[in-house]
Amino acid sequence: MTNDVCSASAALAAPLGLCRRVTDVPILAWFASTLFLSSALLFLIEPMVGKMLLPVLGGTPAVWNTCVLFFQAVLLAGYGYAHLVTRWRDERQHARVHVLLALLPIVVLPVSVLAGDRPPTTDQPALWLLGRLLRGVGLPFFVLSSTAPVLQRWFARSGHPAARDPYFLYAASNAGSLLALLAYPLVVEPLWALGEQSRLWAWGYIWLVVMVTVCAAVLRARAPATVSKSPAGHVHPIALRLGLRRRLRWVFWAFVPSSLMLGVTTHITTDLAAVPLLWVVPLALYLLTFVLVFARQPVVPRAWMLRGLPFVLLPVAVLLYAQVQALRWVLIPLHLLAFFVVAMVCHGRLADDRPPPAFLTEYYLWMSVGGVLGGLANAVVAPLVFPAVFEYPLVLALACLALPRQAEGPSGWRDRARDIAWPLALGGFTLLIVLALRFIGWSQTVGMVVLGYVVPAMICFSFQHRPLRMAAGFAALVAVNGLHGSLREGRLLYIERNFFGVKQVRLAPDGRFRLLVHGGIVHGSQSTDPARRGEPTAYYHRRGPLGDIFGLLEGRGAYRRIAVVGLGAGTVACYARPGQHYTFYEIDPAVQRIAEDARYFTYLAECQAPYRVVLGDGRLTLATAPDGDYDLLILDAFSSDSIPAHLLTREALELYLAKLADGGVLAFHISNRYLNLAPLLGNLAAERGLVSYHRAERARSVDGDSGWIPSEYVVMARRRSDLGGLPDDPEWRRLTPSRAAGVWTDQYSNLLSVLR
C-alpha cells in the first residue's frame, strides 16, 4: 500500500518532500487530522475578521449580522460545490481540481479585509462590507467550507475498512470547530495582535493545503476509476429512495438547534445575565452535540436524551419569564441544559437518518440549508416579525415534535383536533387560575406556584406521547406564564425591536418610575411625580460621580459644548444650563425615538440648552466633528456584556483628545457588573501622559427609593488643574498603571484581562 501511495502521489506530494513521511501515518488519522484543522481554521477566521472590521465600521449589530449572513451563504455555497462536483466528476479527477482550488487562496494571504479604500461614514456600508469580505476572505472561506464534505467523500471512496460509514469524521470536524471556538478568546486574542493572528492563520492554511494534497494522493492511489453519477439526465437509481420528505426532515432537524442556539444566547445574555463571553457556551454545546452523535461509539445514549426531553422543557416553560435575580444562576444552567438535550435529540435524529455514503454531500447540503434557515430566522426575520424574543419559546415548542409518538395507528382528524383542543383548554384553565389568584392577592404564594405552575406542567407532561399535543401545550404554558411575568414586572408602555435588540418602556411595579429597559439592563428612568421629573435618576443622580463631574466643574464656567456618546433616556440633559450646547451620539434610532417622546421621558423636551442627536456608531460619527469642539466628552456605552472595545483603544483615545478643547475633560461611565475597566483606562491615560481619577459608588451608599443606581466613572484630562476641585474630593481615587490590564489598540484587545 505504501508503494502504491508513493507512486500515485509523486506528482503531488513528492515536490513537498512529504510522501515517505506521511504514508507512515495511518490513513484514518490523517484524514481526521485534516478535517480537524480545516474546521479549526474556519472558526478562527470568523472572530478575527469581525475584530478587523470593528474600528472602521463600529459596533453596530447590523455589521456583525451582515458578516454572519456572508459566512452562512459562503458555507452553503461550499457545501453546494462539494455536492455537485463530487457527483459529476470521477473523484480521482476531482481530487486534482480541488487541490488546485485549495492553492488559490494563498495569493490573498495573510487575510485582510481593510486594505485599500475605507467606507464613507455617511453611507450605508452593507454593499462595501460584502465586497470587502468577498475579496478578503471569500476564497479561503469557500475552500474551507467545502473541505469537510469533500474529504469525507474521498475517504468513503478510499477503500479503507471504515469507509462504509464515514460520517464519524464529522465528529473530528466539529471537534476542531469546538477547540477553535474556545481557543480564540482564551488563547489567541490575549497572546497575539491581529496582524500576528492573520500571519499565523496563513501558515495554518498552507499546512492544510499540504494535508489536503496528501489526502488527494491517497484517493488517487486507492479509489476505483468510476464516476459518481451517470451522464447528464440520468439520475442514480438509489437517489429515488431519499424522497422529498426525508430531505425536509434533514432541514427541520438542522433548523431547530441552529435557531435555538441563537435564541438561548439572546435570552440568557440579555434577560438573565449580561456576562461577557457567555455566548460562547451555547455555541460550544451546539458543536459538542455534533461530536457526540456522530462519534463511532455512542458516548451518551440517545434514549436518555429522548426520555429526558419533557423533564427539561417543562421547567423552562414554567420559569422562562421568571425575573428573579437570585435565581439567575439556576435559570442559566437550566436553559443551557434544555438546549443541549434538544440539540442532542435533533442532531441524533440527523445522525440516525444518514444516507449511504453515495449521498454524503447531498446530506450535508440539506443540513447546511437547515442551519442557514435557522440563522436567517433569528437574525433577520424575527426582528421584523416579533416585537420581543418570541422565536426562542416558539422553537422550543417545535422541539417537542422530536418526541416519539407512541399512539398506535394513524391519526385522524379527530385526534388532530384533540391535539389542539386539549392545549387550548390547558392554557385557558391556567390563565383563569393565575388571574384569580392575583385578584385575591395570592400572586406570591405557594398556592400560585402549585396551581398556576406545577399542576398545569403535570397536565402538559401527560401529553408527551402525542408530540403535536405536547408542542401546543408547551406553547400555551409559555404564553400564560409570559403574561403573568409581564404583569409582575410592571405595566408595559412601549416595546420596539430592531437589530439592536428589544427596547421596552415600563412603569415600575410601584408606579413611581418609568424605566427604559434593554434585556435585564435599565438604561434610564424618570420619576412619574411631576415635581421630581426634572431630577436625574439611575446612574446619573446628582450625588453620584456624574453629579460630581458637573458640580465641581460648573464653577469654572469653562465648558460650553458637551458631547455624550450614548443617549439612553436622555437623563444627562438634566444638567444642561442656558448658554450650553449638547450633542448626543446614539447608535440605535429606536432609543432616540423613545427619548424624544414626551409620553415616556421628558428630559430632552425640557432640556434648558439646545441639543442635537447624531445617529451612528459613536467613534465613527464623532470623527466627523470639528477638532477641539468639545469642553466635556462623556462616553456612556459600557454597561452591557458586549462592550464596544473599539471605544477603549489607544486610537480611540487619540480621537477623543483631538475633539476635546484645551482644558477639556473626558468622562467614562464604566458601571458594569462583570468588567473592571478602570485599570485599562488608567493605563491608556498614563501612556498618553494624562491624569485620570476614578470613583465607584457602593450600593449601600445609594438611596434606592430615589431611583438611584450605583455608578462608576473615570475622568481624564491633560492637566490636573483641568479637573477643578475634583481631585481633592476623597471619593475620587487617582488611577495608576496596571500591568494586568495592558493597553488595548485597534489591533489588540483582551477581554479576559478586565473580567472582575
Among candidate residues 489, 520, 544, the one where a domain is terminated:
489
Q: Whole-model pTM?
A: 0.84
Together in a domain, 224 and 247 = no
Position 558 scores a pLDDT of: 61
Position 444 scores a pLDDT of: 67
The band of 613, judged by pLDDT with boundaries at 50, 70 and 90, is very high
Provide the Cα torsion 566, 572, 578, 582; round to 10°. 0
User: Using CA atoms, how far apart are residues 513 and 452, in angstroms rounded to an integer?
Assistant: 29
- For 214, other C-beta atoms within 10 Å of its C-beta total 25
Give pLDDT tens digits for 477-519. 888 877 776 666 568 889 888 877 788 898 887 888 999 988 7
Q: Is the pLDDT of residue 720 over 70?
A: yes
Provide the Cα torsion 392, 393, 399, 404; round to 10°. 170
Residue 161 vs residue 631, higher pLDDT: 631
Q: Is the pLDDT of residue 6 over 60?
A: no
Together in a domain, 298 and 353 = yes
Together in a domain, 418 and 380 = no
Position 90 scores a pLDDT of: 67
Q: How is residue 10 written as a grid cell?
A: 509523486
Average pLDDT of the chain to the nearest whole number: 83
Position 183 scores a pLDDT of: 92
Together in a domain, 217 and 253 = no
Mean local confidence (pLDDT), 122-146: 81
User: Using CA atoms, how far apart are residues 215 and 220, in angstroms rounded to an integer?
Assistant: 9
Together in a domain, 628 and 567 = yes
Together in a domain, 431 and 380 = no
Q: What is the DSSP letter of 723?
A: G
Residue 306 vs residue 60, higher pLDDT: 306
In a domain, 68, yes or no: yes
Together in a domain, 72 and 198 = yes
Beta strands in 576-653 (DSSP E): 581-586, 611-615, 630-635
The band of 8, judged by pLDDT with boundaries at 50, 70 and 90, is very low
Q: What is the CATH number of the domain that holds 197?
A: 1.20.1250
Give pLDDT tens digits for 264-303. 888 887 766 666 677 888 989 999 999 999 988 778 888 8
Q: Which of 709, 622, 714 is nearest to 668 (CA)?
A: 714
- For 736, other C-beta atoms within 10 Å of its C-beta total 11
In a domain, 422, yes or no: yes
Position 235 scores a pLDDT of: 41
Q: For the chain, first and last CA: distance in Å?
A: 57
Q: Is the pLDDT of residue 324 over 80?
A: no
Contact 698, 710 (CB under 8 A): yes
In a domain, 698, yes or no: yes
Q: How is residue 517 written as a grid cell?
A: 429597559
In a domain, 494, yes or no: no
Position 225 scores a pLDDT of: 56
* Share above pLDDT 70 across residues of the chain, in percent, rounded to a whole number: 84
Together in a domain, 162 and 34 = yes
SS3 497: strand
The domain tally of the chain equals: 4
Together in a domain, 441 and 573 = no
Give pLDDT tens digits for 553-565. 776 666 789 999 9
Contact 650, 538 (CB under 8 A): no
Together in a domain, 148 and 274 = no
CA 441 from centroid of its chain's CA atoms = 40
Domain of residue 731: give its range: 533-754
Give pLDDT tens digits for 216-225. 888 888 766 5
Among candidate residues 196, 228, 260, the one where a domain is terminated:
228
Position 432 scores a pLDDT of: 86
In a domain, 474, yes or no: yes
Position 431 scores a pLDDT of: 84
Position 239 scores a pLDDT of: 44
In a domain, 320, yes or no: yes
SS3 734: strand
User: Using CA atoms, how far apart are residues 628 and 507, in angstroms rounded to an integer?
Assistant: 41
The band of 21, judged by pLDDT with boundaries at 50, 70 and 90, is very low
The band of 348, judged by pLDDT with boundaries at 50, 70 and 90, is very high
Q: What is the DSSP letter of 506?
A: E
Position 725 scores a pLDDT of: 85
Q: Is the pLDDT of residue 455 over 50?
A: yes
Mean local confidence (pLDDT), 411-429: 80
Among candidate residues 167, 195, 228, the one where a domain is terminated:
228
Give pLDDT tens digits for 660-700. 999 999 999 999 888 899 999 999 999 999 999 999 988 76
